[in-house]
Structure formats: structure tokens, C-alpha cells
Structure 1
């Protein structure tokens, strides 16, 4: 039986090796690529990322990868964004200015507010560590199908997504009184704010579902 092949976009930002090792652990072949033609023809495509939104989008522009990613997304084949990669799936970010995203899921990226409405300091930034996720909509037929409500995943981020359509919100987590989108989905495009490659058995289960849907 031919193993599924996952193409991970290599644009200079992100913990690509750990994502690669996670997919290889569950039996996938992995192709690291910054080639537009390879991205367009990928079987499964992953956009990882750690760092700032502006730098991430600038790298995709410099490598001329944005048209290829959009063409792939329109093909209907599975596309996953992880952490910064998830945020870049949205329309724009307000991280250190206003910057255009890929526009594959309608929404914006804004800073996690560290203050309560009365101005008190209540949250540590970044949101880092293990946190439980809960369904924002039914996830039985989604990439989260093997996961029980309340399972814990590993987060590291200072900005959060805000989707324009609540139907695109798949799961959330609570961080010191603030609801944060943990997973989003629109058709074949999926975004995970947490790092499945760092989230032990449940994270691997999600990656396994991604390549076996």
C-alpha cells in the first residue's frame, strides 16, 4: 500500500523538523518544499509557522508561493495551517501594523488582550503551555473526530484568530477568561492554533486523521 505523501511548505519560519517527524511517525512520506509546482501538485499540504505574521507573509511573497497555495486550496485537497500557519490562512493581521493574509478563511488576527475591562493585568503573554479544547460546533466528521472534548494540546502564541463566520469555528480553548479559537475549518482548509506535533498521542491522532480522511 502506497504511503500518503505530505508536503510541508518550507519558507524559513517554523519548527518544520518536528512537524516532519510527527508525520513520519504515523507512516506518511514527507516532502519539504519551497517549489510552487510541488506545492500545487501536493497530495496533502501543510503550512507550519512560528514567529511574526508580517515575516511569514513576506517570506511566502519572496518565494512566490502565494498563488500556488491558493491554487492548491481551490483544488479541494486537504490543507492544514499550524499556529502562525493557521493565522496566515485568514484575511489580515493587526500584528505590528496591518498585513494581508492568504484570505482562505474569512477573518482577522488580533493580539490577545492582557488586560481585563477595568484595566487590570490578568493574562501572561504569550499564551504558552497545555490547554483543553472544546467543540464550537460538531466535530464528529472533522479532523478532530478521534479527540474527546476537554483533551489538552500545546499552545504558544500571542495573537489569536477571529473568524468572520462562526460556522468556520471548530474548537475553542479558554485562557484566563478569554475564549480563543483553537481550530478553524472552511471546506478543505483547516487551521490549528495549537501544535499537534507537540501534543503527544492526541496530536498524532489529529495528524493521522488529516492524512486518512
Structure 2
């Protein structure tokens, strides 16, 4: 199986690569369009700013390729947020526009922002991503922006209000948490994605 981790120059690319290795698969970190087109599974990781990830994808001529992607692709954290059409970050930025949602800044004076640490994830719809993972399992989050619950929401989490923890539309999947930092549940979720 050809597994590609998109080189977004941001995020724990090597941590993700090593988690995939633990499951028994090799993966390649690349922004080479031919490698991406020949992949069976694609990861779109992201940590940092929406501006820098969009700039990098544009520079590498990957925006159209991702939008037209027919292979299974999993956006992680910022990688999930940019599957939507808009982010409030840095006075507003257009994102990939694959899915019809926007990303908003978590605003709550009683809560610490960013939302960091373990939080419960509740399933709204059945998904192959959660095979052999119990409902209300804990995953590791680290984010200041979130996506409202919408038509593509598979699972939710709560931090001041409900937000989308996992989304899916056809071959596009997204998780707001970091599966590569989420212990046994995160490993199982990545394994499930690879086996879909």
C-alpha cells in the first residue's frame, strides 16, 4: 500500500510517520504530485497557521490536486479545518472549499485557549474510522479554532460548546484531534483509516 503524508512543512510529520510504522506500514512524506496521485491513502496534517499551510499548498501546486482527489484523504487538526471554505484566523482566510463549513475561533472567557489535552469524543453517526473504538473514548486535542457541528459531522466533542471532532464526506475525512498523540485509540483510528 502506498501511503503519503503531505509535506505541509507544519505539524508532527515524523510523529505521524512513526505511528503508521507501528501499525506495520511504511509512508512517505512528500509534496510530489506524481507520488500523491499514485497513493492509496493520503494524510493532510497541519499545525500552525492557516495562512502558512495554504501558502505552502499553493506554492507546491497541490490545491487543485487535493480538491479533485479521489483517494481517501485524512485531514488532521488544521488539515481538517482547511477542508472547509473559510477560517476566521488572521482576519479571515479562504481555505480549500471542499466541504461547506467555516472554522471559528473558540471564544470562552471561562476556558483556557488553546483547548489542549484529552477530551471525550462522542459518535453522532457510524463510521468505519471508529471500528473497535468505544463511544466516548478520549483523544488528544490542541487547537484554538474549531468547526461547528454540520452535515458532515461524524463525532463531536465539547469545550464550552459542541464542535465537530470528526467529519466525513465521501473520500474526505477529518479529525480535529491528533490521533498520532492519542495513544491506543489514535493508533486504532489510523489503522481503521488505512483499512477502509
TM-score, length-normalised on structure 1? Answer: 0.88
1:161, distance to aligned residue in structure 2 (A):
1.1
Residues 196 and 202 in structure 1, CA contact (< 8 A), matched pair in contact too: yes
1:212, distance to aligned residue in structure 2 (A):
0.8
CA distance in 1, matches of 2:163, 2:97: 20
CA distance in 2, matches of 1:94, 1:9: 24
CA distance in 2, matches of 1:154, 1:102: 25
User: Counterpart in 2 of 1:31?
Assistant: 28
Asked whether 1:99 is paired with 2:93, we answer yes
User: Counterpart in 2 of 1:155?
Assistant: 141
Cα RMSD for the two superposed structures = 1.2
Residues 162 and 181 in structure 1, CA contact (< 8 A), matched pair in contact too: yes
Asked whether 1:144 is paired with 2:130, we answer yes
Aligned length: 196
CA distance in 2, matches of 1:68, 1:25: 29
The correspondence for 1:187, drawn from 165, 170, 178, is: 170
1:82, distance to aligned residue in structure 2 (A):
0.2
User: Counterpart in 2 of 1:118?
Assistant: none
Highest CA radius of gyration, 1 or 2? 1
The correspondence for 1:172, drawn from 133, 156, 177, is: 156
1:162, distance to aligned residue in structure 2 (A):
2.7
The correspondence for 2:185, drawn from 190, 196, 202, is: 202
CA distance in 1, matches of 2:20, 2:63: 24
What residue ranges of structure 1 are gaps of 5+ in the alignment?
Answer: 115-120
The correspondence of residues 52-131 of structure 1 with structure 2, limited to 5 A, is 52-72=49-69, 75=70, 77-114=71-108, 121-131=109-119
Question: Which deviates the most, 11-20 or 37-46?
Answer: 37-46
Query: What do residues 124-175 of structure 1 show as CA deviations (whole Å, max 9, x unaligned)?
Result: 10000000000122x2x42122211110000000000136xx3310101111
Asked whether 1:15 is paired with 2:12, we answer yes
Residues 91 and 103 in structure 1, CA contact (< 8 A), matched pair in contact too: yes
Residues 154 and 198 in structure 1, CA contact (< 8 A), matched pair in contact too: yes
4+ long deviations beyond 4 Å? none
Query: What do residues 179-212 of structure 1 show as CA deviations (whole Å, max 9, x unaligned)?
Result: 1210000011000000001101110000101111
CA distance in 2, matches of 1:106, 1:56: 19
TM-score, length-normalised on structure 2? Answer: 0.96
Question: Which deviates the most, 34-43 or 44-53?
Answer: 34-43
